[in-house]
Each structure stands twice: as structure tokens, then as C-alpha cells.
Chains A and B, each alone.
Chain A
């Protein structure tokens, strides 16, 4: 049993994925916390216990994400761009042609990656300096509306027309949303407005990079159906959300581990 481990250490959550020669063998998502090394260890232990795999079976480990250099047992580190591309291309199994554009929204960053026909990164843009247009913003909105993050999507889908939220900064948007609530605006329209604001920001970045179909969208917030719809509306293209959108980067890292190991073995 050859296993390959991919570790994606994000600012909010840490994701690990175990790939075997067939496909995904197991995965785990855990809040990163302060000591990411410990987080990875505990996540791995839990995953192995759950799946029954042994640590010795892991042939290669690749780490990515902002904390990638903090994992002593990782064999290689790789940028999350490359990992994301590899993982998403593999995960989008229902497409006729390979993925050409990848949109990713994480806990504290967002990125747009243009991929060429060979699956190689052609161009990308990242917003990692500001929380606007990231999962952090959605957390804030859910908090103010006093609902769970998982309810945000379905709530927003109830609205026909989103409310315009003009603030470009997540902090100022917070006060804008509070004033909207005070003016008795519908929570569904506020939620939709928040999604729209993120989608608009993302689409601006995407237009700078250049959008070619098919377009995939992943990262934790891709589980939010309302956000997906907002991005579809804003970019006016069909958006494909791969299976397991939250862990595609970790999958990519694991796949890159597998690729490297098999190349060495050959």
C-alpha cells in the first residue's frame, strides 16, 4: 500500500489528504490554531486511526500553504498555486476539457490562476494582504446575522436581488451591514449582498488575469452555494465546484508527492 500525504496549512484551517495509487484514501480538516506543527500531527494521528493506515506506508509527504516550512517531516514544500492547480485539475472529473481558470477563496486570501492546456500555471493573481473578499468576511457576516456559516448560502439564495454593499474593506463593511439591519433590510438580501461583494472583487481580479472556460472554484467557501451562484452571475460563466473543494490544494500536494515518487521509481 503506497500512500502519499499532502498537507495544506492555511491561515484558518489545516487540511491533510492521503492519496493512494487509485485516488483519495482519506482526508481531514482541522482549525490551524497557533502551533501548526502540533495541529498537523494530531490531524494525521486522527486520520490514520480512522482509516487504519500506517504511517510507514506514507511514501512521500509534500507540504504547502503559508505554514509549509514548519513541518519537519515534509519531504518537499511547494507553493499553493502549483498544488491548487494539480489538485483542482484532478478533482474536476466531470469536465469535457481540462480546467483553464481556477478561482480560490480561502480563510484569509483569494486567488485566481490561469492554467494552460497542458495544466501548467500560466498567470495568477493573489489577494493576500486584505481580508475583504475572503472567508473571514463571510464569518463576520454570519456572526452579525447571527446564523451559522453553513446557513449563509441557503439564506442568500432566498433573495432575488442582492443589496449593494459599497464598502471595500471588510471592517467598514461590517458597520455598513449593521446599519442595513437597523434599517430593517432582509437578512437574505444582506447575505446575498455580501456574496455579491466578494464575487465582484474576485471577478475584478479574474478579469486582470483573464478568464477562460472551464472555470473551477474551490476553497472552503466554495461549499457556499450562494457564493457560487454570485460568482457565476458576476463572471457570467459556468462555475464548476469540484468534489471536496476545501481540500483540493492538499490533494494537489499529495498528488505531487505521488508524481515525484513514481518518477523517481521509474
Chain B
């Protein structure tokens, strides 16, 4: 099973649906745990973080009073989405994830090698997504309320995360809308926020070209979804006794998660960075060493057979076609005799 092909297809479909679905009148709500950016007018569902930040910027008297019920229902909807789908939102559904994966595919097609973080570097900025999560909760609260006796924050800080999220400059582009690519000089806050936005957009393109899923390491949505890693319906299970620590999974992991390769004594392998793309299972050559599970039941297992079949179909260069050595006459080595 070529999971990566299936996943690409699912990503494409979700992208089309989430970006354009609204044009057909379709909508799956506003509590979607993925970057289904609200700046796309015809979207088929909204990113959870926008209404979340909006809710949080209400005065507490409202938040815990008149809108409390709505807020709870809202959170509950999010909870159910996250519980059922968990990190698959990152790996299979997120439009920004899809765009980053496309960038990677372009790089691969050009034959350019990517680059990887040094391990220490990778470990060092694990905290960033949690910091962003905290900020996207506190800053809105500080707009509608006085935090710790401080004056209320400027409304220019509204939906602070959305202001810097790369979704904002890029997703409207799919409507031909370039209005979000700018530096807004109307206030200091706006200058800072839009500058950050442009910086992050630039990083998205530049760093995202050489590093796979570069921004996902800093994404606060991933931080939120991490709360569901252990309890989510979709799981990633490892059988340590079957693992040879060959490191194939680490190599294939776009998020460069080391634990998947190094640890044998842990069963549940959806780590904070994991996006359940299941690349690890695809490249694992040991039977059942890694398994994707749905409500505890294995739905996709690593196997030597599957590994070899998938490897044989990995293309090299566009001009060589998808020639598998399998098609070659056994007993000859292509051209080098």
C-alpha cells in the first residue's frame, strides 16, 4: 500500500474542500483543528484558532457568562474532532502541511537534497510551539480584560496568532487575493505583527524548501493536538522486540523524531511532533515493528514485503521513468557489465 500516495491524494482533496468548499455551500464548522484559514472566503470549514482567540478576547464576564454555553459547545466540538482524528489533521488534512509537502516534492523533483537539523538544535526549540500556544491564549485575554493589573492590550493585537500564521499571506493567494502580503504601517503593533508575518512567510518558503515541514515544529495547533496523542482514536504503536534500530523511520520522518528509532521500551509512539504521516511504517522493514492503529486495532503494519514493494516503486529521475529493477532481466546488471 502506497500510503504516501494515498495521503497526498487525501491532502489534495482536503485542500480543495477546505479552501473552496464554501463556494459550493459546504461547511464542516468552525472548530476544525487545522489551518483552514478564515481569510479564504469560500472555505469549507474554519480553523479552530480564529474563533478560539475571538472567544478569549471577550471580557470574562461574557466568556464565563452569556457565551459560556456556546464556548463550551465550541470547545466540545473541537475536542471531538481532535479525539477522533488527532494528529492526522497535521499529516493528512492541514492545507499548510499540504503546501509544505508540495514544496518538498518540487525540491525532490529538482533533485536537490534537503537538510536536517542537528539533534541539539531540534531539541532546543521544542518549547516554541507551547510558548506560542500560551501567547495565543494570554494575548487575546489581555485585550478584553486586565491581566495582572496591566492596562488592556491594543485591539491591534486581536487574533495575534492568525496575524503571524503563514496561512494568512498564502491561503488567500488561492483566491488571487494578495492583500495580506504587506507591512501595515498603521500602528506600531501592526508594523511588528505584519513584519513577523512576512518574516514567517519568507521562512515558510525558504526554509520550508530545504527542510521538510519546517514550520510544523513551531505550530501551536500541533501543541494543542498533542494533548490527544495518547487518547486519540488513531495511534502509532511500536513493538520494541522487533525493532532493529536501523533508523529508517528516523530518516523518513519529516519531523525528524528520534524517539521512533531509538526507543524500544515505549509502545505509544505519537510524540509531540508526530503528524501521523505514517512514513515511518512505510520504510520499516521489520514485520509489525510499527503499526498504525484505529481504536487499538492495527490498520497498517510495517512488513518486509510491503517495504520492498514500496521501495521498488520509488522513482529516481523523471527522465528515467518509474523503471523498477524488477523489470530487468535477472542475471544482468543495467549497463554496467
Does A touch B (CB under 8 Å) in the complex? no
A residues engaging B (CB < 8 A)?
Answer: none
